[in-house]
Amino acid sequence: MVFGGIQKTSLIDFPGRVGCVLFTAGCNFKCPYCHNPELLSFSTAQVIKNNWVMSFLKERKGFLDGVVITGGEPTLHKDLMDFMAAIKDMGFELKLDTNGSRPGVLGQILEKGLADYVAMDLKTDPALYAEMVASPVEPEKIRTSIQTILDSGTPHEFRTTCAHPMIDADILAGLMDQLSGADLWVFQECQGTRMLEPDFLEKAEIVYTREDVEAFAAQASSCVKEVRVR
Ligand code: SF4
């Protein structure tokens, strides 16, 4: 594992748990609104060693309930499953955040029961991913990850950042068919100045307001058990 950051305590990232958040370095997408651009490349990420992370977690036993592994994209790391198993052995619950690009790894993690909660970013129609995240992405892999999560029985959420042109009412309608029956779909405003493309919002034809995001959530509410706006 190569970590690029740590948040030592979080009350909001792992539902119902006091957790810490580990940020893995490296991502195979280049979302223009990415808030962690320094994590995308192994060369620009600050490197936190595994040993340090394990010592930190040993010290925090009894204070933390859970560990969130986020990115970057955690499933790119070959030793992710071993790392997750070691953390589980220490008695922590685990939440995995993923962009859904590696359904094979995701499926193994869920099958082995290594994740107590999984969150997948759903950025746009799978067929539009390659264009929208400026990276080669096979749409079928995104669809398979969605279905793998839905079939797994693992508590889960899907998260969508409402940015144009990734999301509009028609794209959302297509996604609703694929997410039918999901536990939770979280809609987020696209905001802030710290982005991979700093002028992304300035150049956008449409910038969705909080009311627009709430309308997307209302549209999606018929297909999933719960929607939230963050
Ligand atoms: S938003 Fe997530 S998936 Fe997109 S580039 Fe950033 S870390 Fe990767």
Structure tokens at 196: 């991979």
Chain centroid offset of residue 76 CA: 13
Ligand 1 pocket residue status of 40, Cβ below 6 Å: yes
pLDDT in tens, 61-105: 999 999 999 999 999 999 999 999 999 999 999 999 999 999 999
pLDDT for 193 beyond 80? no
Protein fold of 3-229: TIM Barrel (3.20.20)
Q: How remote is the CA of residue 136 from the centroid of ligand 1, in Å? A: 14
pLDDT in tens, 212-227: 999 999 999 999 999 9
Per-domain residue ranges for the chain?
3-229
Ligand 1 pocket residue status of 172, Cβ below 6 Å: no
The side-by-side arrangement of strands in the sheet containing 66-70 is 3-10, 19-24, 66-70, 93-98, 117-121, 156-162, 185-189, 227-229
Ligand 1 pocket residue status of 31, Cβ below 6 Å: yes
194 phi and psi angles, rounded to 5 deg: -90, 95
Ligand 1 pocket residue status of 157, Cβ below 6 Å: no
Q: How remote is the CA of residue 134 from the centroid of ligand 1, in Å? A: 11
Using DSSP bridges, classify how beta strands 185-189 and 227-229 pair: parallel, antiparallel or unpaired: parallel
Q: How remote is the CA of residue 154 from the centroid of ligand 1, in Å? A: 23
pLDDT in tens, 102-138: 999 999 999 999 999 999 999 999 999 999 999 999 9
